[in-house]
Structures are given as structure tokens and as C-alpha cells.
């Protein structure tokens, strides 16, 4: 017997629309219409310059390519680097899904591409001041540090298309060109999409829709004394939340426990949420420019930044049939509909000076920030505001920071930091301070931080949750030692970290619900002995080759964040490995790689997820077993075209039908992935 609501009909395949239909996709919202119009106007301004981009010599030979096209980022300008780096045309990362988005760190997801995620491994926070605290979709939005600016001798076009049939999809199109050597402009458009793999017959098949548009420009004066780079970016992310698999009566063992092995029927499963959606909208305008006052020794710079983030959670049936949903402990405002919204706006101006010589590099700056947060709940048709917290317009925030570095041969030392003073209460002053030293292959860093809670950790109001807290700053004292050495064709790296954490803030389970329905209780701050804990981690990395056979492996061991830690959970072991053979074929016309890659994380009590608050929370009722996942892949490079073909999760059914990434959130099953990357230099 199949599960309730199951149909033997196969789900619709997620097909990528033809290029001719992209304008229709782009015109779904009024804001995207404006973006397309701005992009067309920008291209219209660039077209008259087409005659200045001749790239062929008298023998019609193409003079330009990957070695003549350079990428610059904001950090390059802040180091007075006007050269940048060559674009990446290698095959190594092409089939690795971890590099399909902008945050390449290991992440805990909800099993689906485009779903909410959080960093899996420990990293101290260095962001001070007002922050919204809704970060589960950060890896899909292009941050200011991820925006590429170009130095192109010819028009440059970038295109990539990845498809994991029928569940996941990536499309990206970028264009840049230089105008008379001093001005470069272009745009970048990205679309991420995903179909449902769980409970397909119950609801619509589409689950994730992401659109990201960036228009960027860079200018440098004739004598290079003045440099400027700026961009306008917008991102729209929409996810149909399912709330994980709902175990049924026939999934229960005799002792009352759920047999998790029976929850991998994917399309035929039943989920907790069928009408819920999360939307995350972001806009940003940013300009960084500098002027040399006394050569490279003294340069003044200014950074302007405006950003906006709007989050919205809706559920058309928060209590279907009057039944209480495990994700909603109460319905504070309405049992008929949920529509919770929060809009965060921020203006920043940073002014500073910097300089460098062969031995010394320094930068000093001050930052002025204003922000506002508007929270409201609305429902019914048309939406009626039922509850709205007073708009938070915090006092203007001032920051001061800088860095200084000295290097002589194999010895280098660097100090850096930032502080946000609190004149009313010195104990609430925020800061991060670091000192780093390097001697040959050995380096060490000391980091001290004191960071205030996010605005969401301080205050929240919605249809199902509400809190108002008064937390102290989270403090971290951390020591990190690194040893790295290149030995011929072999590279070896080891990193050890010891961190002492105080007043850690986390989201937890309501203790009463442990015997009833599991749901999030709200934010808590660890205190007493539990509020001060130590983390120890050791990361090992090896990369090498023997002939045409290449190896790469990386693993991180973490102690102090296991199930006995009430605030922070990290798998004891997280690692990945790759083995592949590479070489040329057809008289070096084609360069290819064929191999296997694997990922492993040890047994742990993974974080659960609360969709209506966009927060992961600690739980003790669900343990995820050790997860080994293997893929086989074939990659090829033909001049400027890179392609790959991969069978993901080839070891499915060995020994079980699947695995979980979060409590009752199943990862995608075995699937075929393929991709194309095409770069044009003319």
C-alpha cells in the first residue's frame, strides 16, 4: 500500500526554460523590471564603444584569453592592488557542489539545494554593531566581498549552467568590458532553482526560486591616483517550506519509536507543512573609492554602503483542520493565516587612510552607521496589519579600526582590530582584536572578540513566537596555529584552534515539549559553568600527485561541541576526499579528469529548524548517523569550455536508502548532475 495522497504518476521533470523565455522570468516582479531596464540602459551605453575592443591582429589570431583577463575585489583596492588575479579556468572545483554558491564553507542544510543552511564548523564572529540575524539564506546571495570587478583587454562573457536532474539547477550569465583602458562595467545575473524531492504529489513541484542581479563598474584615472569601484545588487530568494517528513503509524516500531529506515520513500512521504513559504529580499548600493595623497605611502579612501533586507514568512493554513502544528506552539494573532515580516535598513559611511611600502602596510578608518528595523504581522485579504512593533531606529553607531603589517623576508607580523565603544556601559563595548605572526611555514594568531546579540536575538514578534531579551555580549578568546609546507608536488597543512567561549547565545527546545511535540522555545544565553566552554579543533589538509593521479583530502576534528554541550553542536569529524586522474587527449585538444569524491561527517545531534523564525535550534531527540557520501565524476576542458558529468550519492542503498541532514529532513537521493561553463574573451 502506498502512502496517503500518493499517485503512481511520476513527478514533472524540472526543465530549464529556453533563453527566449528569460525576459518572462525576469519580469515576475516590478523590482526586477527596473533591474532589467537598468541593465539594458547600461548595455546601450556600452555598445557605442564596441569599436574600441578590437581583439584580432592582422593574422586574425585571438590575442586575448584567460591570461589577459583579471578579477579585482574590494580587498584588492584596500591593499592598493590594481592588478588583481587571473580568472579561474580550472576544472578542479567545477563538479563540486560546495562551490556552486558563494559561501564555500561546510554547511548544514535541510537536504535540498537552496534550502536554509548554517555553517557546520566553528568560526568566531567579527561583525560588530546592529545585525538583523536572519542568515540562513546568506550563502545564496552575493555579498560585497563576492562581487567581481574586471580588467579586461576585450569584452568578457561568462556563462554557466548546472543541472541535477530533476532536483537542482544553476544558471549564471555575466558580461564585462573595458572602455578606453580606464573604465570597466558589466552585469551578472544568477538563477538558482530546485524541485521538490519529498511529498511531490501533495503540492506543487517547485520548491526554490532565487534570482540575483548585480550591475558593477570600476574606474581608474590616467595616473592611477584615483580608483573607484561600485555596484548595485539585488537578490530574491523564495522557498516553499515543508517542515520535514511526518512519520506515520506504519513507520512506528513495537516500542513506539519511529523506524527511520522507512522514511526514505521521498515522493510518497507526508510532510508537516504544505502551504508555508519563506521569502528573503535584499538590495545593496555600494561605492568604494580612493585617492593617493602622497604616492602609495598615504592614500585616503571612502566607502558608502546602503543595504536592505526584507524577510517574510507566510502560511495559508497554520492550523489545518484545527490541528496544532508542531512548528507553531501557539497562534498569537490568527489561526487562519500567518504573515510575519521584518525589514532591516542600514546606511554606512567609512572614511580612512592607508599606505604601503616594501616592508610596511597599514590602514586606519572610522565608520558611521544608522539603521532601522520594522517588524509587523499581517493577514487576511487584503493584508491587514494586526501587530507591529515600534520601528527600531537605534542610536547612530560609531566604529574605529585598522590594521598594521610588517614583513621582512620569511618573517611577518600583523595586528588588526575594530571597536564600537559604548559610552553608557563600558561592559557592552564591542570589539575584535587580532595579532598574527608568521615565520616560514609556521604561523599563529590570537583573536579576542566581544560582540552584541543580533536584533532578532534581542526582539521578535510574530504569529507564533514573541520574545524580548536582555543579553550580554558574547566573548571569545581564541588561539590558532597553522603549519603549511609545499614539498615538491605535495602540499601539507595542519591548523589547530583552541577557543574559550563565554555567554554564547543559541536557540533551544521548549523543555515541556520533549514529551509532546518538538518546537523551538526561543533564544537563550548560556550562563554559569555551561556558559563558559572550550572548543578544540584540528584540521588536516593534504594535496599531491603521483604522475597523472591526483589526491586531495581535508578533515576537521572538533572536541567540546558534542551532545553534552547544551549550546553548541558540531560533528566530531567532518571531512572530504578526492582522487582523480587527469591528462590530455586528442593531441592535447581536450583536457580531462575522471575520479571519485566523498564527504563524511560523524554521528551527531544535528540542529533542528524553525521556518517561521528562520533559526536553527539545539535539540536532543534526534541523532543523525555517520554519513559517508560518494560521487563519481568526469570533467573535460576544451579551450574556453568546461563540462562535467557526475553521479551524485552513488552509494545510496549501501547500506540504507538515504540519510538525514537535519531532524526528519532527508537529503536528496542518487541523481545525475551535469554542467557547462563557457567563457568568451571576444
561-597 per-position pLDDT tens digit: 888 898 999 999 999 999 999 998 877 888 999 999 9
Give me the residues paired with residue 176 across strands. 156, 186
In a domain, 11, yes or no: no
Sequence-ordered list of residues with C-beta below 8 angstroms from that of 449, at least 6 positions apart, any chain: 124, 125, 126, 431, 432, 433, 474, 475, 476, 478
Mean pLDDT, range 390-398, rounded to an integer: 77
> Which residue segment(s) compose the domain that 72 sits in?
19-680
Would you say residue 497 has pLDDT above 90?
yes
pLDDT value of residue 51: 38
| Res. 274: pLDDT tops 70 | yes
First-to-last CA distance in the chain?
59
Radius of gyration (C-alpha) of the chain in whole angstroms = 26
Cα torsion through 268, 269, 270, 273, rounded to 10: -110
- What pLDDT score was predicted for residue 258? 80
Averaged pLDDT of the chain: 85
The average pLDDT across 56-81 equals 73
Residue 62 has pLDDT above 50, yes or no: yes
Per the domain annotation, does 235 fall within a domain? yes
Please state, in angstroms and rounded to a whole number, the distance separating the CA atoms of residues 404 and 414: 6
Q: Is the pLDDT of residue 255 over 80?
A: no
- CATH number, domain of 554, equals 2.40.170.20
CA distances from 474 to 68, 447, 645 (A): 46, 14, 45
Confidence of residue 426 (pLDDT cuts 50, 70, 90): confident
User: pLDDT tens digits for 638-664?
Assistant: 888 999 999 999 999 887 889 999 999
What pLDDT, on the 0 to 100 scale, is given for residue 13? 37
Number of domains the chain is built from: 1
User: Does residue 244 contact residue 272 with C-beta atoms inside 8 Å?
Assistant: yes
How do beta strands 117-119 and 107-109 pair?
A: antiparallel
Determine the longest span between alpha carbons in the chain, in angstroms.
82
pLDDT tens for 447-470 read 999 999 999 999 998 989 999 999
Judge whether 556 lies within some domain. Answer: yes
Rounded CA gap, 568 and 42, in Å? Answer: 47
Is 10 part of any domain? no
CA angle at 665 for the pair 650 and 271, rounded to the nearest 5°: 120
Q: What are phi and psi of 74, to 5 degrees?
A: -60, -40
Cβ atoms 162, 114 nearer than 8 A: no
- Please give the pLDDT value at position 321: 61
Give domain status of residue 5, yes or no: no
Burial grade of 470 (CB within 10 A; 0-12, 13-18, 19 or more)? exposed
Give mean pLDDT, residues 81-99: 87
Amino acid at each position: 500500500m502506498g502512502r496517503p495522497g500518493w499517485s503512481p504518476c511520476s513527478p514533472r521533470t524540472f526543465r530549464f526554460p529556453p533563453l527566449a523565455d528569460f525576459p518572462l522570468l525576469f519580469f515576475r516582479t516590478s523590482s526586477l523590471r527596473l533591474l532589467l531596464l537598468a541593465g539594458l540602459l547600461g548595455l546601450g551605453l556600452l555598445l557605442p564603444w564596441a569599436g574600441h575592443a578590437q581583439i584580432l591582429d592582422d593574422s586574425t589570431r585571438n590575442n586575448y584569453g584567460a591570461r589577459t583577463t583579471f578579477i579585482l575585489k574590494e580587498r584588492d583596492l584596500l591593499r592598493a592592488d590594481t592588478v588583481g588575479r587571473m580568472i579561474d579556468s580550472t576544472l578542479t572545483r567545477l563538479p563540486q557542489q560546495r562551490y556552486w554558491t558563494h559561501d564555500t564553507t561546510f554547511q548544514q542544510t535541510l537536504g535540498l539545494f537552496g534550502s536554509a543552511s548554517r555553517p557546520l564548523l566553528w568560526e568566531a564572529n567579527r561583525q560588530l554593531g546592529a545585525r538583523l540575524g536572519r542568515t540562513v539564506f546568506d550563502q545564496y546571495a552575493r555579498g560585497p566581498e563576492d562581487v567581481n570587478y574586471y580588467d579586461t583587454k576585450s569584452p568578457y562573457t561568462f556563462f554557466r549552467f548546472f543541472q541535477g536532474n530533476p532536483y537542482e539547477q544553476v544558471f549564471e550569465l555575466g558580461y564585462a568590458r573595458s572602455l578606453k583602458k580606464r573604465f570597466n562595467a558589466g552585469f551578472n545575473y544568477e538563477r538558482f532553482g530546485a524541485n521538490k524531492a519529498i511529498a511531490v504529489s501533495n503540492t506543487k513541484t517547485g520548491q526554490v526560486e532565487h534570482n540575483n542581479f548585480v550591475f558593477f563598474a570600476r574606474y581608474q584615472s590616467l595616473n592611477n591616483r584615483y580608483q573607484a569601484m561600485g555596484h548595485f545588487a539585488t537578490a530574491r530568494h523564495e522557498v516553499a517550506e515543508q517542515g520535514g517528513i511526518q512519520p506515520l503509524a506504519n513507520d512506528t516500531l513495537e516500542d513506539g519509536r519511529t523506524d527511520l529506515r522507512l522514511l526514505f520513500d521521498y515522493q510518497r512521504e507526508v510532510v508537516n507543512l504544505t502551504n508555508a513559504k519563506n521569502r528573503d529580499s535584499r538590495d545593496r548600493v555600494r561605492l568604494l573609492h580612493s585617492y593617493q595623497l602622497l604616492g602609495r605611502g598615504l592614500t585616503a579612501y571612502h566607502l558608502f554602503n546602503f543595504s536592505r533586507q526584507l524577510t517574510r514568512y507566510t502560511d495559508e493554513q497554520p492550523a489545518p483542520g484545527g490541528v496544532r502544528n508542531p512548528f507553531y506552539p501557539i497562534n498569537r494573532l490568527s489561526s487562519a493565516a500567518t504573515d510575519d515580516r521584518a525589514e532591516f535598513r542600514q546606511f554606512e559611511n567609512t572614511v580612512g587612510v592607508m599606505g604601503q611600502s616594501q616592508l610596511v602596510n597599514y590602514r586606519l578608518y572610522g565608520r558611521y552607521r544608522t539603521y532601522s528595523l520594522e517588524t509587523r504581522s499581517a493577514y487576511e485579504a487584503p493584508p491587514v496589519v494586526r501587530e507591529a512593533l515600534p520601528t527600531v531606529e537605534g542610536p547612530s553607531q560609531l566604529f574605529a579600526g585598522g590594521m598594521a603589517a610588517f614583513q621582512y623576508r620569511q618573517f611577518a607580523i600583523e595586528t588588526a582590530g575594530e571597536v564600537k565603544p559604548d559610552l553608557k556601559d563600558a561592559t557592552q563595548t564591542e570589539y575584535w582584536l587580532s595579532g598574527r605572526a608568521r615565520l616560514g611555514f609556521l604561523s599563529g594568531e590570537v583573536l579576542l572578540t566581544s560582540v552584541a546579540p543580533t536584533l532578532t536575538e534581542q526582539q521578535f514578534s510574530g504569529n507564533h513566537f514573541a520574545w524580548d531579551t536582555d543579553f550580554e555580549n558574547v566573548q571569545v578568546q581564541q588561539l590558532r596555529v597553522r603549519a603549511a609546507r609545499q614539498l615538491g608536488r605535495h602540499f601539507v597543512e595542519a591548523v589547530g584552534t583552541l577557543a574559550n567561549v563565554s555567554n554564547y547565545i543559541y536557540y533551544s527546545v521548549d523543555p515541556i515539549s520533549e514529551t509532546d511535540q518538538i518546537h523551538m522555545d526561543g533564544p537563550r544565553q548560556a550562563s554559569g559553568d555551561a556558559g563558559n566552554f572550550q572548543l578544540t579543533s584540528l584540521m588536516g589538509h593534504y594535496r599531491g600527485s603521483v604522475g597523472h593521479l591526483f589526491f586531495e583530502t581535508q578533515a576537521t576534528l572538533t572536541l567540546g561541541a558534542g551532545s553534552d554541550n547544551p549550546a553548541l553542536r558540531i560533528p566530531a569529524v567532518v571531512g572530504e576526499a578526492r582522487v582523480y586522474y587527469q591528462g590530455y587527449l586528442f593531441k592535447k585538444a581536450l583536457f580531462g579528469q575522471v575520479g571519485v569524491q566523498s564527504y563524511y561527517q560523524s554521528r551527531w545531534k544535528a540542529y533542528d529548524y524553525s521556518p517561521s523564525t528562520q533559526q536553527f535550534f539545539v535539540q536532543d531527540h534526534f541523532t543523525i548517523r555517520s554519513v559517508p557520501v560518494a560521487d563519481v565524476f568526469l570533467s573535460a576542458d576544451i579551450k574556453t569550455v568546461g563540462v562535467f558529468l557526475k553521479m551524485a550519492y552513488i552509494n545510496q542503498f549501501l547500506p540504507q536508502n538515504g540519510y538525514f541532514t537535519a531532524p526528519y529532513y532527508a537529503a536528496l537521493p542518487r541523481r545525475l548532475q551535469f554542467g557547462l561553463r563557457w567563457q568568451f574573451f571576444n
